[in-house]
Structure 1
Amino acid sequence: MSNPSLHPSESLAVAGDAASTDRESRATRRKRETRAKLLEAALALMADKGMEGVTINEITEAADVGFGSFYNHFESKEAIYAALTEWVFEAFADRLDRLVRHLEDPAEVIAVCTRHTLLRARREPVWGRFLLREGFSTLA
């Protein structure tokens, strides 16, 4: 089950080329898929409630995985939060850097970044809510 709020090019799942995906074992694939489900569920829940308002049980229920599976991938709620903030802030910042690297006018850089951010938040509302909530949080 894939979360429609995630853009395929910026998925939380561990990326790999098609050849390596074909060669990965069933267990490795299932582990990667379970981790992605946990991250997607945590993103949706934390976008609405913040990290403090979400329990590990809620994350595993939303991801439709067993409670113990959480600890196969993350040592704590803070660890999954760190993975999410890294993805949302670092990966997105890298994307913006690639979009504007050829631009020299600072005003154009700001305009392109703002436009891209707003369009993505509109296209991916869960991502946008997480960005707004956590962008102003002391935890991020």
Structure 2
Amino acid sequence: MPAPRSDSAEPATRTERRKALTRRKLIDAARRILAGDTHSTASIQDITDAADVGFGSFYNHFSSKAELFETAVSEVLEELGQLLDELSTTVDDPAVAFAQSLRLATRHGISLPETAQVLVRHGMAYIDADAGLAPRALRDIEAGVASGRFLVRDTRLALATTAGALLAVLHLSLTHPDAVTDATCDEAAEQLLRMLGVPPEEAHEIATAPLPALDQG
């Protein structure tokens, strides 16, 4: 899978900056196309037109449409994963960390419909990826099991169930936006905590606790 976006180092030369800008435009165009679910019929010409870059520049960055779209989805997931990491640095209880990340992830997706569209349409293929949300959720689940907070025999199955719930809430937010609120996100987290073995009253308390502010960027 292509590496997710990294902004840790700025390109040093004008040529490198121009190449980085072209790559950025292609990925942004791919994210819009993915959100609109036209990726299966979009040609490379369609992509470069949407990105407002020359056709020939495409192959300077990607070998195929599939590689570009994989990069775009991976980037969406990794961006959200990094954001959740930053907000969870002071959380010691894995049950709280798990619920907080899930509640924030659903809120973030709901507030950005284009991101929600990408995740709903393409996120299922990434539920066991090595980057993005999957390894972070698995980390929290395994930490919960190790500490005795979660009663789970198969952590991968718990991860798959969590991913399915997240995508289902995001799907519902797109099809019935008026029916999905912050309380919906919290109830989903509460139900998943109970599935993982947290007692009902404690699950409710954790899932309705105040959240840190989520910077939409």
Query: How far, CA to CA, are the matches of 1:63 and 1:79 in structure 2?
Result: 16
- Tell me the equivalent position of 1:28: 16
Residues 1:78 and 2:30 aligned together: no
Stretches of structure 2 that go unaligned for 5 or more consecutive residues are 130-217
Query: How far, CA to CA, are the matches of 2:38 and 2:83 in structure 1?
Result: 24
After superposition, residues 9-48 of structure 1 pair within 5 angstroms as 12=5, 14-16=6-8, 20=10, 24-48=12-36
- The answer as to whether partners of 2:29 and 2:47 remain within 8 angstroms in 1 is yes
With the length of structure 2 as denominator, give the TM-score of the two structures.
0.49
- Tell me the equivalent position of 2:193: none
Task: Please report how far the alpha carbon of residue 16 of structure 1 lies from its aligned counterpart in structure 2 after TM superposition.
Answer: 4.2
Task: Please report how far the alpha carbon of residue 94 of structure 1 lies from its aligned counterpart in structure 2 after TM superposition.
Answer: 3.7
Count residues in correspondence.
124
Write the letter of the residue equivalent to 2:7.
A
Query: How far, CA to CA, are the matches of 2:101 and 2:85 in structure 1?
Result: 9
Task: Please report how far the alpha carbon of residue 107 of structure 1 lies from its aligned counterpart in structure 2 after TM superposition.
Answer: 3.9
Between 31-40 and 60-69, report the one with greater CA deviation.
Answer: 60-69
- The answer as to whether partners of 2:30 and 2:68 remain within 8 angstroms in 1 is yes
Between 116-125 and 76-85, report the one with greater CA deviation.
Answer: 116-125
Query: How far, CA to CA, are the matches of 2:85 and 2:8 in structure 1?
Result: 22
After superposition, residues 110-121 of structure 1 pair within 5 angstroms as 110-121=98-109
Indicate which of 76, 96, 103 corresponds to 2:91. 103
Larger Rg: 2
Structure with the greater relative contact order (CA < 8 A, sep ≥ 6): 1 or 2?
A: 1
With the length of structure 1 as denominator, give the TM-score of the two structures.
0.72
Query: How far, CA to CA, are the matches of 2:98 and 2:49 in structure 1?
Result: 40
- Tell me the equivalent position of 2:184: none
Stretches of structure 1 that go unaligned for 5 or more consecutive residues are 1-10
Alignment RMSD: 2.7
- The answer as to whether partners of 1:50 and 1:133 remain within 8 angstroms in 2 is no
- Tell me the equivalent position of 2:75: 87
Query: How far, CA to CA, are the matches of 1:43 and 1:112 in structure 2?
Result: 26
Identity of aligned residues (%): 35
Task: Please report how far the alpha carbon of residue 73 of structure 1 lies from its aligned counterpart in structure 2 after TM superposition.
Answer: 0.7
Write the letter of the residue equivalent to 1:48.
G
Task: Please report how far the alpha carbon of residue 28 of structure 1 lies from its aligned counterpart in structure 2 after TM superposition.
Answer: 1.1
Write the letter of the residue equivalent to 2:121.
R
Secondary structure of 1:49's counterpart equals coil
- Tell me the equivalent position of 2:114: 126
- The answer as to whether partners of 1:103 and 1:109 remain within 8 angstroms in 2 is yes
